[in-house]
Amino acid sequence: MSVVRDMSLAESGRRKIQWVRDFMPALSGIEARFEQEKPFAGLRVTVSVHLEAKTANLGLVLAKGGAEVRLTGSNPLSTQDDVAAGLASLGVETFGVHGATAEEYEDHLVQALSHKPHLIVDDGGDLVHLLGGKRADLAENLIGGCEETTTGILRLRAREREGILPCPMMAVNDAKAKHYYDNKYGTGQSVWDAIMHTTNLIVAGKTVVVAGYGWCGKGVAMRAKGMGADVVVCEVDPFKALDATMQGFRVMKMDEAAKIGDVFVTVTGCKDVITPAHFAVMKNNALLTNAGHFDCEVDVAGLAKMAVKRELRRDNIEGFTLPDGRVLNVIGEGRLVNLAAGNGHPAEIMDMSFAVQALALEWLAKHRDGLEKKVYNVPDEIDDQIGRVKLAALGLSIDTLTPDQVEYLNGWKA
C-alpha cells in the first residue's frame, strides 16, 4: 500500500531512524510499556507530521502499542524519501514523496486516512481540514486526535467556535513539554542549522530580523544573538514586544526593519508578513526565510511578480533579481526552513514532543466515551511525567515538596 519514491533507499532511511531512536529515551520508555500493554489494540491511527526520522520513530512506537498505523508528511519539502522508504520497509504504511505537487500531497493525505482511523496526529490541521470537509466520509470512526502546531491549534479553536470540529482534539502544542522545550530550543537551533548549512554564510555581525516573538521567535532570536547577530524583533503584541526589548533586542515595525535586515525569519503563524512593499526597500542579497508552518508569511509570489529574473543560486536558495539589480534570496521556497532546508528539530527535542503525542493518544483512547468535540489541553500528569522521565534520562534530579509545603501553597492559614 505504501507510496514512496524509491524502496531501494530503505537502508539509508533505516539507519537514520535507528540513529534518532538511540537519542529519544523518553519515547523508548513509552515504547517498552506500550509493547507490553497494547493500549491501541484494534485501533487505527493516521499520522501527518513532517516525514523524517523522528516522526518515523513515533510511528513505530504507536505500532508497538498495537495500532495499525498509516503515516504521511505535513509538508512536501520536508519529506525525506529514504526515511519514507525505510519506514515502509519496517511495516508502517507510508505515503509521501519529497517535492510532491499539491494534488499529490493531498492524495497522500487521503490515502493515509482511507483506513478510516480512530485516532489522528495532525501537524498544521491538514487532516482535520479533510475530515471536517470533503472527506468527512473517512471520519466515521474518529475517537479524537492531537495537533502539533500553533498554526493548527488556531484553526482547531476556530472550528470549535463554529461548531464544526470533526472530533475531540488535544492541543499538544500547548503542553509544557512542547512549547517550553520544542518551540523555543528546537526551533532556535534547527532554524539556524538549516540557514547556516544552506547558505554557508556567517551569522555574526549581520542584522537578523525576527518577525514574531512567541515561543518559536524567542528561540530564533536567542540563538541569533548568541552567534553575534544584531537582532531586530517585529511584533503586533505590545507585551511580547516589551519582552523582546527587555531581552536587549531592538523592536520596530517591519516597514523599518526591511530597510536594515540582512536575514529575515518569520515565525508568526500569520500571512503577508513580508510583502512587496518590504521587498522594495531591502538590501541587495538579503536572505528571506520562514519558520512558520505555512508558506504564506513571505509573499514569494509577489516577489516573483516584481522580479525580472529568478534562478537557483545554490541548493534550496532561489535568487530573485529586481529591476534595479538588487537580488533577494528565498530559502526553501518560503516553506518551513528548518525542514525544507534542514533536518528539523534535534532528536532529543522531538523525544519530548512525540512522547506527549503518544501519551495524549493513549489518554484519548482510554477516555473515548466521555469526550466532546472540542479542543482539550494535555493533562498535567502527562506533562509532568514526561518532564521527570527526561530529567532522569539526563541524569538530573530535582527537589520534591514536603507535605507541609504543599499545605502552605494550597492553603491560607499559614
214 labelled ligand-binding: yes
Is residue 414 predicted with pLDDT exceeding 80?
no
291 labelled ligand-binding: yes
Is residue 150 predicted with pLDDT exceeding 90?
no
As a whole number, the mean pLDDT across the chain is 96
Calpha distance 287→326 (Å, rounded): 12
- Give the model's confidence band at 63: pLDDT under 50 very low, under 70 low, under 90 confident, else very high: very high
For the residues 293-322, what does the mean pLDDT come to?
97
0.75 cut: is pTM over it?
Answer: yes
**pLDDT, tens only, 282-298:** 999 999 999 998 899 99
218 labelled ligand-binding: yes
Give the model's pLDDT for residue 157.
Answer: 97
The SS3 assignment for 392 reads helix
Calpha distance 298→344 (Å, rounded): 20
215 labelled ligand-binding: yes
235 labelled ligand-binding: yes
319 labelled ligand-binding: no
Maximal C-alpha separation, the chain: 74
Strand ranges inside 37-118, DSSP E: 44-48, 68-72, 93-95
217 labelled ligand-binding: yes
Q: Report residue 157 as a C-alpha cell.
A: 479553536
Give the model's pLDDT for residue 322.
Answer: 98
- Give the model's confidence band at 379: pLDDT under 50 very low, under 70 low, under 90 confident, else very high: very high
**pLDDT, tens only, 204-224:** 999 999 999 999 999 999 999
Strand ranges inside 228-358, DSSP E: 230-234, 250-251, 263-266, 287-290, 309-314, 317-321, 327-331
Give the model's pLDDT for residue 393.
Answer: 84
292 labelled ligand-binding: yes
For the residues 224-234, what does the mean pLDDT come to?
98
Is residue 177 predicted with pLDDT exceeding 90?
no
Neighbours of 374 (CB within 10 A): 15
150 labelled ligand-binding: yes
Which single residue is written with the C-alpha cell 499529490?
Answer: 104
For the residues 51-74, what does the mean pLDDT come to?
98
Give the model's pLDDT for residue 406.
Answer: 94
345 labelled ligand-binding: yes
**pLDDT, tens only, 77-134:** 999 999 999 999 999 999 999 999 999 999 999 999 999 999 999 999 999 999 999 9
In the chain, the domains with their CATH numbers are 7-178+345-394 (3.40.50.1480), 185-341 (3.40.50.720)
For the residues 180-190, what does the mean pLDDT come to?
93
Calpha distance 56→84 (Å, rounded): 8
By 3-state DSSP, what share of the chain in percent is helix, strand and coil, each rounded to 5? 50, 15, 35
Is residue 358 predicted with pLDDT exceeding 80?
yes
Give the model's pLDDT for residue 227.
Answer: 98
Is residue 167 predicted with pLDDT exceeding 90?
yes
Strands 317-321 and 309-314: antiparallel
216 labelled ligand-binding: yes
Give the model's pLDDT for residue 366.
Answer: 96
Give the model's pLDDT for residue 238.
Answer: 98
Residue 98 per-residue DSSP state = T
Calpha distance 1→71 (Å, rounded): 11
328 CB-contact burial (10 Å; exposed 0-12 / middle 13-18 / buried 19+): buried
